[in-house]
Structure 1
Amino acid sequence: MPLFDLLLSHGADRSLYDNKNQTVLHKLASSATYNGDIPSLLLELLIPFVDINQADVNGWTPLHYMARNLRQVNASRLLVSRGADVSAVNNKGNTPLHEAMTGRLNRKEKEDGSLEWPTLSEKIQAHDKIISILQDAGASIDLPNMAGKTPAQLLVEKRAKWDNGGE
């Protein structure tokens, strides 16, 4: 991460946030879609300088974004281990577990630049891992959001959609 080190050595402030109240963790989590996990080393460098539970203007914490992106299993695990609030609620009444239930496992960028679609088995495996991380940290599968949907209901809907070839 030479660029990151260069920025820090020249006074970059890791604790800044934008007009949407998003920190660099929000930005990383919401933009890391086609590759694997956000590198643990990068997260370890950032976490001491940001509020990992800071909500943006829509109530989303970095964990909401990471949980929704099923490629962020290890990053989600790391955030939870550092105290990310699995019970944080966004403006729709969704916890990170609600977001995980509706999450996606996007295509993966291969070394040649082409994109590879995940199999149903890969989707289910990643989904199960994120769900387990959040539930092991105390997330409730029975807590309804503002639409009256629980994570358990969203899970059934998502798996049915996948079974029918949907995303």
Structure 2
Amino acid sequence: MGILTNAIITMHLLTGTPSAVHAELTPDTQMWRQQAAWLDGELDKQREINQRLRDEIERLNATAWQPFEITAYTADCAEGCTGVTATGIDVTQRSHYEGKRVIAADPSVLPMWSTVELRFADGRVEQAIAIDKGGAIKGRKLDYLIGSHSAAVRFGRQKVDVKIIERGAK
């Protein structure tokens, strides 16, 4: 409200009867309530739009190819390996789970149970599932479960592009 309006209201309060002041303020009050209700509706619409935009950004980020570094590991190393992934899956006799290659990932970057596509430098694309994590796997690094130590050594350290197909639970 403006200074003049405040002055008029103050004058009415000091000199007028309560019913006269109420009668004069009532139309403004109704208008303000209508405006407040309209603004609440507009704010709700804006919140919905913002949420849809956040969801779309997350979807687009999830479908974009992202660069990672990948190494290989085995389930039967000399020390510290149990053959059971961080999610409790026994991988002593296999390198795949439900048809997808097992990978270890940093859960803060790629949550457990995420399904991804790996695109290697030679153009080969393979689906993988993040059901393990490792002490040295931090940030945009992955570990690729492979059958033998010699195969892991041959695999070496590679650059790979990763596309998230389905984000797992955090």
What TM-score, normalized to structure 1? 0.21
Greater relative CO, 1 or 2 (CA 8 Å, sep 6+) = 2
Larger Rg: 2
Q: Which structure: greater helix fraction?
A: 1
What TM-score, normalized to structure 2? 0.21
Q: Which structure: greater strand fraction?
A: 2
